A and B are shown apart, each in its own frame.
Chain A
Amino acid sequence: MNLDNLPILSILIWLPILGGVWSLIIGDQEERVVKRFSFLISFVTFLLSVLLYYQFDNSFSGMQFIEELYWIESFSIKYHLGVDGIALPLIMLTTFTTILVVMAAWEVIDKNISYYMCAFLILTGLMNGVFVALDSILFYVFWESMLIPMFLIIGIWGGPNRVYATIKFFLYTFFGSVFMLVALLYLYSITDSFNIQVLQEASIGLTAQKLIFIAFFLAFAVKIPMWPVHTWLPDAHVEAPTGGSVVLAAIMLKMGGYGFLRFSLPIAPDASLFFADAMIVLSLIAIVYIGFVALVQEDMKKLIAYSSISHMGFVTLGFFIPFGIFAATNSNAGAVMGMEGAMMQMISHGFISAAMFLCVGVMYDRLHSRMIKDYGGVVNSMPYFAAFMMLFAMANSGLPGTSGFVGEFLVILSSFKLSFWIAFTAALTLILGAAYTLWMYKRVVFGEAIREEVLELKDINARETFILFLLASVVLLFGIWPAPLFDVMHVSIEQLIQHISQTKIL
């Protein structure tokens, strides 16, 4: 078989989607078959993304594995796919997370298992589609249709307040996205193209750029989410089933970040420069203020949700610090570092938040409570689990040696180039993050057991150990040796920085 001609990106999209449909056809009666089949599909998808990684050319900044077909000829909308160093890590994160999600559902989801698997597999395909689409309308179709499975996942398998949470989630994200559609159509009216790469090259006046930036901002800021449009996230996270929370935190938030890198920054660089200060302030508010909010949470999932928002603040900070650096120093020095730090933060947060949500899921499955006050003394009955969670809690607070440290460190370092105080404020997260995560960890895991049930909890079984082990190894691997990730993204990010440092106003 000649691997070079394999439409690997299409397979990454359509294999999970068709697999999802097939799992419906298998049906709920064949529960074991559905689970094994879904696992197989997700595993094969992951292997394909690994294959993608090995065939990927690190030294080339443009798009690779391009597939281009006419989709809607009347308006030259194309089925146009390709990956670069920014998309590739996110695709691998997606396929990796899907395996975890499928495994996490193994004994936990007891109703409509085939629908559950179907929703997640379709979701995976659509998310892969978002990351590889090079036609803006194709991108938009993937971006929006993804809401449907997520809406159902939260609504059908979620907690008691799920209906409120899922409708809020849908409306919030839909709200942002439709304005992005208007911006895309406006861009079409001036460039006569839906091709993202053409849009990136188009020269646009400053006023138009500002409007376009705001429209994109609405879409991506809601998704990532930035303060003050973050309020859907804690609700959605708390009510979603564990798998839903994992996908939301690990991948869906990254789509907002990816959107910034693919659309906002390259299409409207001058507007990005114009708004950079505001974005940096919003990011800092997210980092510090939301960090304090996380501190007072009593619900573990909510706490992790807020910590996600705070960590995403680092991502947006890393995206916009380069503009501050251009303006202040007229050079690119340090800009690449900030951007790479933000990317690294996205990937690493994908693993860590997934791990944290899975840990809460493990406890929730046993005691059916997410409240911190219901626990205490978990270490007595679940020592292995406590050890794993310790690692993830440390990673979440950015301990050196874990992947959580790398991204934050680079972003802070890059901020120093711009201003000491920005770097100082951002660095507060190292204290705050440690405070809220470790304090929660202490209250949940150590101390006296408040409820007797806690003492009778069973430690993690082989399946859970395996999931957590996978995540722990990745977190440590990228903490100690992040080079594989940087190698993949470096050229693309340098090229992006090069691109956005030049004005598009003629």
Chain B
Amino acid sequence: MRTDLILLIPEITLLIMACLVLVVDAFSKDPLHKVTYWMAQLSLLLTFVTVIYYSPDYSYIAFNGSFVSDMMSVLLKAFICAITIVVFFYSYEYLKENELLKGEYFILGLFAVLGMMVMSSAYHLLSIYLGLELLSLSLYAMVAMQRESTFATEAAIKYFVLGALASGMLLYGISMIYGVTGSLQFTDIVDTINSGTIDKVYLVYGMIFLIVGMAFKLGAAPFHMWVPDVYQGAPTSVTLFISSAPKLAAFAMAVRILSDGLSPLIEDWQSILSVLAILSMAVGNIIAIAQTNIKRMLAYSTIAHVGYLFLGLIAGTASGFAGSMFYIISYAFMSMGTFGMIILLGRYDLEADSLDDFKGLFLRNRWFAFIMLCLMFSMAGVPPFLGFWSKWFVLKELIASGFIELAAISVFFSIIGVYYYLRIVKLMYFDEPETMSAIKATQQMRVVLTINGILILLIGLAPNSLMHICLSAFSG
């Protein structure tokens, strides 16, 4: 039991810190919530350090098999903390500028991170559900934080209703699996299925509901309807948060359920995921072309990216999962940078969320036009940027597993996808600006955004270490 608790130290640290921040914020009178903000960042940093410090040498399963600590969970948790630190940074700048600053934003964020960490380590369907709900409930509240805005309220309600529906689906699937196998723990489930004494039909039904629930949470077509509205309606900082770290957790959930819990059903879920992947790539890439709001466009681009993420899962091999992990991490990097750009261009009275706000950025500020150029080409999957390698990696694994047609279809949709990313480059570089006003942003904001953008290029030039990290997550 003691060793079990040691494995939980990062989560415990974060929980204690989150409660502490909550109390401190309640007594703080500072309208800028400086203490809350820095304490939240400190909590994440501490969690990050403990995650690394208490990383196990090999895979430990604890608490009667409901919790696992392995390379994958450690790496995902570390990335989740690191990404959230950057997200909080961007958010703080945005919230300050737009007078939306509330201490709860960071507290909810911390609880969301806790949920993500639980998800990354869950080895039991109920602990997955626990983590997922902790994450989702925090996010619902974060979306609704801008109370005066009808858009935000609508988005929050939509998110909540559809999210609850998805949770229901997930629970229904879990109950079916339980009914068939008599267990919720992954190794037990696998053993029972492999024993061959059970009726596969009900099992597959259960699996389908699980996948539907997952697809809802990830925003894969045809369960993507909430994504554009939430992305557009929520304050940009919340959209930024939703589109980055939680995707890693959702990826963890997918890998745990599919590869650990339902590995005997691999052929069944491969075919279901293929359909979801094709639909997501098609819907995401085609509908994104018609958007005029950049947040909405990025929402559709997320849907498409989720389709590509599935490709690595469909490959079904350890390196395929590594490819998906690489994909989702690099996606989180790019997404952060892009929303960071939107925050950078926005001013108090004007959200820079229309595509036209990017017009003539080249003439207004060359450096950030270049950063955005890197981000867009990276998202489109053009070398030498990071986004190319993520597509490359999942495609390679997909082809190695023999899904060549699927690979051909997916590259075809990526050609369509290139168009709307190019359009932003076109707006920035080829069009005249509507305003020549200088970009107002703090020095920190510029520095962090610059690092973010340059990293996209540098990791793209030398992707080996990140690939190595992702591969090591699944080599055990």
- Nearest chain B CB to A23 CB, angstrom units: 14
Stretch among A137-145, A281-289, A421-429 lining the B interface: A137-145
Using a CB-CB cutoff of 8 Å, which residues 115-140 of chain A contact chain B? 137, 140
Q: How far is the CA of A73 from the CA of B407 in the complex (A)?
A: 24
B429 touches A156 (CB 8 A): yes
One digit per residue, 1 when the CB lies within 8 angstroms of any chain B CB and 0 when it does not, for chain A 247-281 equals 00000000000000000000000000000000000
What are the 7 tightest A-B residue pairs by CB atom distance, in nearest-first order? A178-B411, A141-B383, A185-B399, A72-B464, A155-B430, A74-B467, A189-B400
B 393-429 to A, binary, CB cutoff 8 A, 1 in contact else 0: 0011001101010011001101100110011011001
Interface residue A71 (Cβ < 8 Å from any Cβ of B): yes
Q: Which of A100-108, A168-176, A484-492 contacts B (4 or more CB under 8 A)?
A: A168-176
A162 within 8 A of B: yes
List residues of A (31-77) whose CB comes within 8 Å of B's CBs.
Answer: 71-75
Closest to B411 in A: A178
Which bracket fits the contact residues of B?
20 to 34
Residue from B402, B418, B462 having most chain A Cβ neighbours under 10 A: B418
Judge if B382 is at the interface, Cβ distance under 8 Å. yes
Question: Which A residues lie at the B interface, using CB under 8 A?
Answer: 71-75, 137, 140-141, 144-145, 147-148, 151-152, 155-156, 162-163, 166-167, 170-171, 174-175, 178-179, 181-182, 185-186, 188-189
Chain A proximity of B308: nearest CB distance (Å): 13
- Are the C-beta atoms of B430 and A181 separated by less than 8 Å? no
Nearest Cβ distance between residue B375 and chain A, in whole angstroms?
Answer: 13
Residues of A with C-beta under 8 A to B423: 167
Given contacts A166-B430, A181-B395, A185-B396, 7 further A-B contacts (CB under 8 A): A72-B463, A72-B464, A148-B382, A156-B362, A178-B414, A185-B395, A188-B396
Closest chain A residue, CB of each to CB of B366: A115
Would you mind naming 22 contact pairs between A and B with Cβ atoms under 8 Å apart? A71-B464, A72-B463, A73-B468, A74-B467, A141-B388, A145-B383, A145-B384, A162-B430, A163-B426, A166-B426, A166-B430, A167-B423, A167-B426, A174-B382, A181-B392, A181-B411, A182-B399, A182-B408, A185-B395, A185-B399, A189-B396, A189-B399
Task: Tell me which of A145, A147, A175, A182 has the highest count of chain B C-beta atoms within 10 A of its own C-beta.
Answer: A182
Q: Which residues of A contact B467 (CB under 8 A)?
A: 72, 74-75
With the chains together, A490 CA to B382 CA distance in Å? 36
- B422 touching A151, Cβ below 8 Å: yes
Asked whether B327 is an interface residue with its Cβ less than 8 Å from the other chain, the reply is no
CB of B261 to closest CB in A, whole Å: 28
Q: Which of chain B's residues have a CB closer than 8 A to the CB of A178?
A: 411-412, 414-415
**Interface residues as binary, B47-81 with A (CB distance below 8 Å gives 1, 0 otherwise):** 00000000000000000000000000000000000
In the assembled complex, the CB of A140 is this many whole angstroms from the nearest CB of chain B, namely 7
**A166 — which chain B residues lie within 8 A by C-beta?**
426, 430
A interface SS class: helix
B449 on interface, CB distance cutoff 8 Å: no
Q: A145-B384, A167-B419 are in contact. Are A73 and B426 (CB under 8 A)?
A: no
Decide if B382 touches A182 in the complex (CB within 8 Å). Answer: no
A-B contact count (CB 8 A): 87
Where the two chains meet, the residues of B that have a C-beta atom closer than 8 Å to any C-beta of A are 362, 373, 377, 382-384, 388, 392, 395-396, 399-400, 402, 404, 407-408, 411-412, 414-415, 418-419, 422-423, 425-426, 429-430, 462-464, 467-468, 471
Contacts of A75 in B (CB 8 A): 396, 467
A186 to B404, CA, bound (A): 8
Q: A174 near B415 (CB under 8 angstroms)? A: yes
- Which residues of the other chain, A, contact B430 by a CB distance below 8 angstroms? 155-156, 162-163, 166
Complex Cα gap A145–B464 (Å)? 19
The smallest beta-carbon distance between A13 and chain B, in angstroms, is: 12
List the A side residues contacting B373 at CB < 8 Å: 148
Cβ contacts under 8 Å, A137 to chain B: 392
Task: Name A74's contact: one of B412, B415, B468 (CB within 8 Å).
Answer: B468
Cα–Cα distance between A145 and B461 once the two chains are bound (Å)? 11
CA distance A175 to B408 in the complex (A): 11
Flag if A74 contacts B471 (CB, 8 Å).
yes
Closest CB of chain A to B46's CB: distance in Å?
A: 31
CB distance from A295 to the nearest CB of B (A): 33
Chain A: minimal CB distance from B305 (Å): 16
A166 and B425 alpha carbons, distance in the complex (Å): 11
Residue among B377, B415, B462, B467 having the largest count of chain A Cβ atoms under 10 Å: B415
Q: Which of A144, A151, A185, A188 contacts B383 (CB 8 A)?
A: A144
Q: Contacts A74-B471, A155-B430 given; indicate if A186 touches B383 (C-beta within 8 A).
A: no
Q: Complex formed: what's the CA distance from A152 to B426 in Å?
A: 9
B418 touches A170 (CB 8 A): yes
